[in-house]
Amino acid sequence: MLQNEKWIFEAWDRTVQKVKDNSKRIGDKFPHVSINGKYDSADIRWWTNGYWPGLLWLIYRDNGDEALKEIAMSCEEKLDEALYGFYGLGHDVGFTWIMSAVAHYKTQKNEDSKRRALIAASYLASRFNINGRFIRAWDMEEATGWAIIDCLMNLPLLYWASEAEKDDRFKFIAMAHADTVLKEFIRADGSTYHVVCFDPETGERTGALQGQGYAQESAWSRGVAWAVYGMAISYQHTGEKRYLEGAKKAADYFIANLPDDYVPYWDFKAPLEEEMIRDSSAAACAASGLLEISDSVEASEKSVYYNAALKITKSLYENYSAWDEEEEGLLVKGTVAYSHKPQVHIPIIYGDFYFVETLAKLKGQKSLYL
């Protein structure tokens, strides 16, 4: 499929060079968003701290760059402060330790990395509400019964732990949460809720919240992207067709509602306005998930999801990439949340990661989540 897609290899080579250049300044810090052309450094407990080492591991797997590997390993060691401190880790430990410790273990069979990842998996499993069959989000008092769509992307840490320890208990928790997402988060049209609330005692659904979307019943585009990719991952780890069907439902919605350049607005159901806010990070995440769906469906359906991923990624490369030396981010016009005005239309580390991961997959690599 790649014979006529030389741009993929061009994009990869340019990306690798830019990451190598960035690494000389960023080092083993933890970039989150780029402000005035330079990536910030997030607090040690911030949920995005796995993305920079994960991005470095993606490139190391391809070219064996020892300098990038050393930085990724140093990031992982620095994260011990958060891991062994525990307080404030929340539900996003999967994002952090899948792309640091698990990636390191898979690549180098490092036992310290395995230990770190298993501790993080145990912490994530401890947040499971058995009555509601969901993993609790956040630690605020009012959030005792809240779950969020993002957490689908933390489940691979539990799947990995079950495989590593030959202990299905982690997997059972992951599947229970995924089933709750299928039932309570993904709407009939394939759009998704961001936050769903449950009674923490009975487990009964009590409502939903706006979260980072335009409104409670709208469709935050990165939330839909989490569903596309997260459900595809659950299928890859379990072989359960219901997860693949959930991934396809969200993917079909995502694809059908893309604008002409294949990069979504920040919310699919927000009222259109002049200079509508985009989210390149949602596009990059969805593209990576679409490739997983393409690998999972029957031959007759493969091209639907593969071609959509290809068009999204090509548009990101041609229309949303930053190649000048004044900007460290790889993708422009990422949006953390519309309500956070300083964090609109800026480079975001997870947008960069999923862009690189999608390019890596198009070249034949596997996801770090598998």
| Average pLDDT score, the chain | 96
Q: How large is the average pLDDT for residues 326-346?
A: 89
Both tokens of 129, joined, read: 């509400």
pLDDT surpasses 60 at 1? no
Cβ atoms of 228 and 250 closer than 8 Å:
yes
What pLDDT is stored for residue 2 in this prediction?
Answer: 57
8-state DSSP, 105:
H
CA distances from 370 to 163, 164, 206, 229, 292 (A): 11, 12, 33, 12, 10
1 located within any domain: no
pLDDT score at 177: 98
- pLDDT tens profile 13-43: 999 999 999 999 999 999 999 999 999 999 9
Q: Give pLDDT tens digits for 105-128.
A: 999 999 999 999 999 999 999 999
Identity of the residue numbered 32 = H
Flag whether 343 is in a domain. yes
Q: How far apart are CA 97 and CA 34, in angstroms?
A: 22
What's the rounded Cα separation, in Å, for the pair 180 and 170? 16
Q: What pLDDT, on a 0 to 100 scale, did the predictor assign at position 340?
A: 65
The pLDDT confidence band at residue 290, using thresholds 50, 70 and 90, is very high
Tell me whether residue 214 is in a domain: yes
What is the percent of the chain where pLDDT is above 70?
Answer: 98
pLDDT of residue 341: 66
For residue 302, is pLDDT > 90?
A: yes
Q: What is the pLDDT of residue 339?
A: 73
Q: Is residue 333 part of a domain?
A: yes
In-domain check, residue 126: yes
Range of the structural domain that residue 262 is part of: 6-362
Say what the pLDDT of residue 89 is: 80
Contacts of 176 (CB under 8 A, 6+ apart): 128, 133, 134
Any domain includes 245: yes
Q: Is the confidence at residue 364, as pLDDT, over 60? A: yes
Q: Establish if 200 belongs to a structural domain.
A: yes
Beta bridge mates, 33: 348
> Does residue 370 belong to any structural domain of this protein?
no
What is the pLDDT at residue 174? 98
Mean of pLDDT values over 242-264: 98
229 vs 213: CA distance, rounded Å: 18
Q: Number of folded domains in the chain?
A: 1
Say whether pLDDT at 3 is over 60: no
For the residues 286-309, what does the mean pLDDT come to? 98
- Residue 162, pLDDT > 60, answer yes
Contacts of 343 (CB under 8 A, 6+ apart): 33, 335, 336, 337
Give the pLDDT confidence of 179-235 residue by residue, as tens digits: 999 999 999 999 999 999 999 999 999 999 999 999 999 999 999 999 999 999 999
Return the active site residues: 92, 150
CATH number, domain containing residue 51: 1.50.10.10
| Residue 320 · residue 284 · CB < 8 Å | no
Q: How far is CA 164 from CA 111, 159, 161, 170, 360, in A?
A: 11, 9, 5, 10, 25
User: Does 9 score more than 80 pLDDT?
Assistant: yes
Interatomic CA distance for residues 180 and 169, integer angstroms? 17
